[in-house]
Amino acid sequence: MKIKFGFWPREYELEARDIQIAPLPEFSDVIEAVKASSHVDGAWIYPPRNGAFVPYQIPPTHVMNIAERTQGREFGELAISILGLLEGMLLIPEEWIRFYRAAIEPNTLSDLVCSKTEIVKLLETVHIFWEANSSLNIRRNLFGAIHWLLFSQSYEQEFEVFAWQYIVMDSCFKLHVDINAIPRNQQPSHYLRPSFLANAYSIPEPSWAIVNGNECELSKLRNEFFHEGRYVGHPIGFALSTMNPNIKLQLISFNTRLILGILGVNCEYVRTPVDTRQMHGLGLIHYRSI
C-alpha cells in the first residue's frame, strides 16, 4: 500500500521495518511553490480567504510504502502521525484537508529535536506498539492523541489550545490505564492525574501538577473551564495565563513526553522539565528492535 503525505520539507529517504518513505519526484517544485505562497507567514501557512476561511490542501511531498502484512491504511496513518510528532509538524495523507493554519517548518509544534537516524529507529515503535496492542480502541486512541496534540496548535488563542491539550492529556491517561489494565476503582481522580502520569513516565513533576488538598493548579483550571466557562478566573477569552512559559506550551511539552513514554521510548527527552522554552534532543538511551 502507498500513501502520499506531507507537507514535509526534508528530502529524506527512510526505511524501517515494513515502512519505506521517499520524496516524490515533484518534491523540489512543491517546496518552492509552498514557501513562495502569499499565504505563508514565517513557519506557518494560512488558509485562503474568500470572504471567509475555507478548507484547503497542501500538495504532498513524500510517499510511504507499507507492507501488506501490517493491515495497511490505519497502520500507515499511525506511522505518519508518529513521524509528524518527531518532526514537530502535522503530517497528513494527501486526500485529507486542512481547516486552519499549518506548520511548514520542522520543530514548530514541539520542543523535541530528532536526528534522521533517531527517526528511523523510532518508526520501529509503530510496530512494537501495534503488535503489543491489538485493541482497536488503544490503537485509535494513540493516533487521536498524537493527531490532536499537533492539530490543536492550528488554533491561535491560548484558551483554545489549552482545552484541546487538556483533552490530549486525558487521552494519554486513558491509554495508560487501558494498556496497563488498571481497574476503574484504582484510577486516580482528575486532580491527581497530572502527578500520576508524570511519576509513571519519569517526567519531572510540573508545578501545576502538585496536589494541594483536593486539587492541583491544572485541575482548578480544568474545572473552571469545562464546568464554569472561565479561564484563569475570568470568562473564557478575557484573560491569559500568567505562567512562564504559559500553560498552553507546558501542556504541549508534557503531552509530547507522555506519548513517547506510552510508546516505550527510553530517552533523556522524557526526563526533561516542561517549564522551559528550550529545545531538547531526543537522547535515545536504549533501543529495542523487533
Number of residues in the chain: 290
Residue 215 shares a structural domain with residue 281: yes
Least confident of 63-72, 189-198, 278-287: 63-72
Q: List C-alpha distances in Å: 258 to 24, 56, 200, 255, 276.
A: 33, 31, 9, 5, 17
Q: Tell me if 202 sits within 8 A of 271, measured CB to CB.
A: yes
Q: Residues of the chain with pLDDT > 70: what percent? A: 97
Residue 65 shares a structural domain with residue 142: no
Residue 83 shares a structural domain with residue 195: no
Which residue(s) pair with 44 in the sheet? 41, 103
Residue 190 shares a structural domain with residue 245: yes
Residue 66 shares a structural domain with residue 140: no
User: Grid coordinates 529517504 are at which residue?
Assistant: 13
Domain assignment of residue 116, yes or no? no
Provide the residue range defining the domain that includes 211. Answer: 136-290
Domain assignment of residue 267, yes or no? yes
Whether pLDDT at 56 is above 90: yes
Residues 219-258: tens digit of each pLDDT: 999 999 999 999 999 999 999 999 999 999 999 999 999 9
Residue 105 shares a structural domain with residue 140: no
Whether pLDDT at 199 is above 50: yes
Residue 79 shares a structural domain with residue 165: no
Which residue(s) pair with 166 in the sheet? none
Q: Which among 121, 25, 16, 119 is positioned nearest to 75, based on CA atoms?
A: 16
Domain assignment of residue 117, yes or no? no
Whether pLDDT at 51 is above 80: no
Distance in angstroms (rounded) separating the CA atoms of residues 106 and 84: 9
Q: How confident is the model at residue 7 (pLDDT cuts 50, 70, 90)?
A: very high
Residue 272 neighbours by CB distance under 10 Å: 18
- The number of folded domains in the chain is 2
Residue 150 shares a structural domain with residue 32: no
- The overall average pLDDT reported for the chain is 94
Residue 147 shares a structural domain with residue 282: yes
Residue 246 neighbours by CB distance under 10 Å: 15
Whether pLDDT at 125 is above 80: yes
Residue 161 shares a structural domain with residue 283: yes
Domain assignment of residue 120, yes or no? no
List, in sequence order, the alpha helices (H) in the chain: 27-35, 73-87, 116-132, 136-151, 158-179, 193-200, 217-228, 247-262
Domain assignment of residue 222, yes or no? yes
Q: Which among 226, 107, 101 is positioned nearest to 153, based on CA atoms?
A: 101
Residue 143 shares a structural domain with residue 78: no
Whether pLDDT at 13 is above 60: yes
Domain assignment of residue 35, yes or no? yes
Domain assignment of residue 286, yes or no? yes
- pTM metric for this prediction: 0.95
Residue 201 shares a structural domain with residue 252: yes
Distance in angstroms (rounded) separating the CA atoms of residues 97 and 248: 25
Q: Please tell me the number of Cα atoms within 13 Å of 219 on its side-chain side.
A: 17
Domain assignment of residue 115, yes or no? no
